[in-house]
Every structure is written in C-alpha cells, then in structure tokens.
Amino acid sequence: MDAILFGGIGAVSECADLDRTAWNSAFRAHGLEWTWSWDTYQRLVSTRDARSPVARHAAHLGESVAVEAVERTQSRLFAAMLAEGLPLRPGVAQVVRWAATRGMKLGLISRSAADPVRAMLKATARARGGVGFDVAILRDDLTHFPPHPQAYQMAIDQIGVAPAATLAVVDSAAALQAAEAAGVHTLGFPGALARHKGMGVPGRGGEVAILSPDEIEAAWRRSVRHAAE
C-alpha cells in the first residue's frame, strides 16, 4: 500500500448537514422559495447525473434559475461555515499521521469547489497534526464526475502510484464505484448522508464506522484478496 485516497470531504469531516444548510441559505439569498430536506438533499447529491443539483432541482420544478450564481453563493457560505471549525471524523487524524510516518502518499478527491475544501483543510489542520495531502482533485479539475473514474485516475497519476497499490476511503456509493472503476482498492466509511435511511458503502475491503491503522491494513488485505479471486 503506497497511497490512501479520501474520496470526499465527507470522508475526512462530517459536513453534509453544513453543506445542506449552505444550500438553503443560498436559495434564500437569491429569493428562491426552496428548502432542501435531508431526503431531497440526499436524492440530489447521490444521483449519477453529473449536472448541478441546482440545475436538476430547477428542471424538476420547471423553474428558470441562475445556477452558477446560486452555486457561487453556496460555495462562499459553505466555506465560511467550515472555517468556523469542525472535527475530523473518528480515526482520521490517527490514520493520516500513521500514513505520513510510513511515507505513504495521501490524496483528497471531492466534488466540492476549491474554497470550501481549503476552508475544511484549514479548519482541521491542527487536528491532523499538520499532515497535508499530496494531491487534491476537486470539482474544477474534472470533466467527468463520480461514478466516472476520472478523479481517481488523475490522483494516482499525479502522485505516481499504481492503482493496485492504492486504497480509497470512501463515504458514498458514487465514490466507491469511481475508485473501483479506476482499479483502486476500497474501504467504505459512510457518513451521515450514506447512513441516512440505512444506506451504507460496502467497499471491497469492507465498511467501518471508525478508522484506525489496524482497520486500514485489514481492509487492504481483504481488498487485495478480493481482487485476486
């Protein structure tokens, strides 16, 4: 195992509800009478449709909306919320420090814009002990979104590792499918969004609620065996 890729900022820190809150605040700022419940939010962000969730929702309602303007407002609001501070998910700090001491590469893949990701990284820097990511593939880097494998292909190419020597820690079905399509081993680490209504993320290396070096190594062995069968 030469690299660990976190497949979404939700795999690093629990921020789905902040994201949903930022969307609802952006709608109010633009005079839209929209309120995304957890069910609506999950349906829109979990789809395989690569279009903006705002564009999909507007099309569903038959409304004309300045999609890019709403997205920019949401990105700014989300970044501000993240900057106020948020904890890492259970075990993430231990795993990134463990990986760094062993010379493993660390990567982050997200469909979020750069500003929220930068804010999340700044807010969690102390908890990570200053350990950074060797590569970050974000929304503006992509022409195809998960479950398309482009993001994972770009990440492993940039850090110079083989797909078969990489483990992706993923918190969504789309991220799981994208990683496996790129030939990367996987460990499911579902957050609140994936757990909603009992959904999970069963990676080839299994699924966990708390990360640890032992869980990472066990998932690696399971995923390698699965690939060999």
Give residue 49's pLDDT.
60
Give residue 42's pLDDT.
84
Whose tokens are 């929304």? That residue is 139
- 159 CB-near residues (< 8 Å, 6+ apart): 3, 105, 107, 134, 135
pLDDT in tens, 149-203: 999 999 999 999 999 999 999 998 889 999 999 999 999 998 877 776 555 788 9
Rg of the Cα trace of the chain?
17
Q: How many CA atoms lie within 13 A of 117 on its CB side?
A: 21
**16 has a pLDDT exceeding 60:** yes
pLDDT in tens, 97-111: 999 999 999 999 998
Q: How confident is the model at residue 219 (pLDDT cuts 50, 70, 90)?
A: very high
Q: How confident is the model at residue 48 (pLDDT cuts 50, 70, 90)?
A: low
Sign of the dihedral defined by the CA atoms of residues 170, 75, 151, 133, in that order: negative
CB-CB contact of 211 with 169 (8 Å): yes
Q: Which of 127, 177, 133, 189 shows the shortest CA–CA distance to 152?
A: 177
Give residue 113's pLDDT.
83
Distance from C-alpha of 23 to C-alpha of 84, rounded to nearest angstrom: 17
Sheet holding 166-170, edge to edge: 135-137, 105-109, 3-7, 166-170, 185-188
pLDDT in tens, 99-146: 999 999 999 999 888 888 888 888 888 889 999 999 999 988 999 888
Average pLDDT, the chain: 91
Q: Which two tokens stand for residue 3?
A: 């690299």
Instruction: Tell me the average pLDDT across 26-39.
Output: 95
What domains appear along the chain, each with residue ranges and CATH number? 3-14+87-228 (3.40.50.1000), 16-83 (1.10.150.240)
